[in-house]
Structure 1
Amino acid sequence: MKHTEAWKRSSPDEIKIGLISISDRASKGIYTDEGVPALRSWLESALSTPYIFHERLIADEREVITETIVELTDDLGCDLVLTTGGTGPSRRDVTPEATMDAGTREMPGFGEQMRQISLRFVPTAILSQQTAVLREIEGHTALVINLPGQPKSIKETLEGLKDAEGKSVVQGIFASVPYCIELFGGPIIQTHESVIKVYRPKSAVKK
């Protein structure tokens, strides 16, 4: 696949991240979207390496969600795509199915850990269908993860839970994201450890 100008990076380690908020009402302007701002705010506080965001606000439409994921990964070269919203059990909640349509392989561990984190707060966390996939095309792979819809839950899911002394009690899913991206040939991502400490095997630690 021929890479376009949109794929260019300002530095080798710049990560390109797609942020998608999925909401019928927010996409129609009935209320202000909180999903993308929450994702952006947390990532800006966590990432210490260069990054660029591509943001989208769309309705709960399966084909539109899939097309948006494909646009961000295939046309814009995003290494990571985070979605928020549309993961519940109602008929309009089709984000996981649309994500699977765009994916080539499922990464179920992300969904399992997100539900474990949320179950510490609400028993209805078991109703969430959140999942993650890899989208693999010629010359490029991207990780796509479905996150909760509430800003507080987004932060808890990405960052994990800490005690009063700041010690990690439950690992957030973002601790595993950089190494996952490195394994499929993406940029090397570093974070501010006060927010989230990335896990890498000793053999993979950047020298």
Structure 2
Amino acid sequence: MPIDSSAAFLPVRIAVLTVSDTRDLARDRSGNLLVERLNAAGHILADRALVKDEVPAIVDHLQRWIDNPAVDCVIATGGTGVTGRDVTPEAFASVWDKEIPGFGELFRWLSFQSIGTSTIQSRACAGVARGTYLFALPGSTGAVRDAWDGILASQLDSRHRPCNFVELMPRLAER
């Protein structure tokens, strides 16, 4: 992935949301890994929260962060599977203005390299809501690595060429 070393790095303000009925922040290995990755890349942790696998709780946090000008991007871990309690994609879809279908497609292709056909159980997804990027990842550390290292690290880097998500940020909320 080519990086234009003559371009300035622009840090993205990222909120991390863990969706889980069983974890707390102290035992949130996936969320911790995501925070480590984004900090190491030079981004800013804008906020962090943990909520239960319940659409209203997820939507409430998403809405707060979407309305907050200090948050450019939300990355969630957990709740993207196919069981009855996995409702993160439904919550995300209820708030975004536009889906980014290529994110889930690319994530599953990358994940296939690691876990084979088990990736079909993932409903990782992404979208944009009123100028804020929203990414929903599975709750495993492997999934966080696949998504961050394979997609988000480059697409959230303003120096990545030929294009990146950051350069679109000023125009995301245009009508």
TM-score (norm 1): 0.69
Q: Which has the higher contact order (CA 8 A, sep 6+)?
A: 2
Q: Distance in 2 between matches of 1:42 and 1:14?
A: 13
Structure that is richer in helix per residue: 2
Root-mean-square deviation (CA), in Å?
1.9
Instruction: Give a deviation string over 1:14-71, Cα, whole Å, max 9, x none.
Output: 53211000000114x8x82222211101112222xx5233000110001110111111
Alignment partner for residue 147 of structure 1, among 134, 137, 141?
A: 137
Q: CA deviation at 1:82?
A: 0.2
Q: Distance in 1 between matches of 2:100 and 2:152?
A: 12
* Structure 2, gaps ≥5 residues long: 1-9, 158-163
Alignment partner for residue 128 of structure 1, among 122, 139, 143?
A: 122
The farther-off stretch of 70-79 and 15-24 is 70-79
Q: Distance in 2 between matches of 1:152 and 1:126?
A: 15
* Structure 1, gaps ≥5 residues long: 1-12, 161-171, 187-207
What is the percent sequence identity of the aligned residues? 28
Q: Is 1:41 equivalent to 2:20 in the alignment?
A: no
User: Quick check: which has more Rg, 1 or 2?
Assistant: 1
**Residues 76, 59 of structure 1: alpha-carbon distance in 2 compared, 3 angstrom cutoff:** farther
TM-score (norm 2): 0.81
Q: Is 1:84 equivalent to 2:80 in the alignment?
A: no
Check the 8 A contact 1:14/1:52 in 2, yes or no. no
Q: Distance in 2 between matches of 1:43 and 1:75?
A: 19
Check the 8 A contact 1:79/1:181 in 2, yes or no. no
Q: How many residues align?
A: 155
SS of equivalent to 1:24 = coil
Moved over 4 A (4+): none
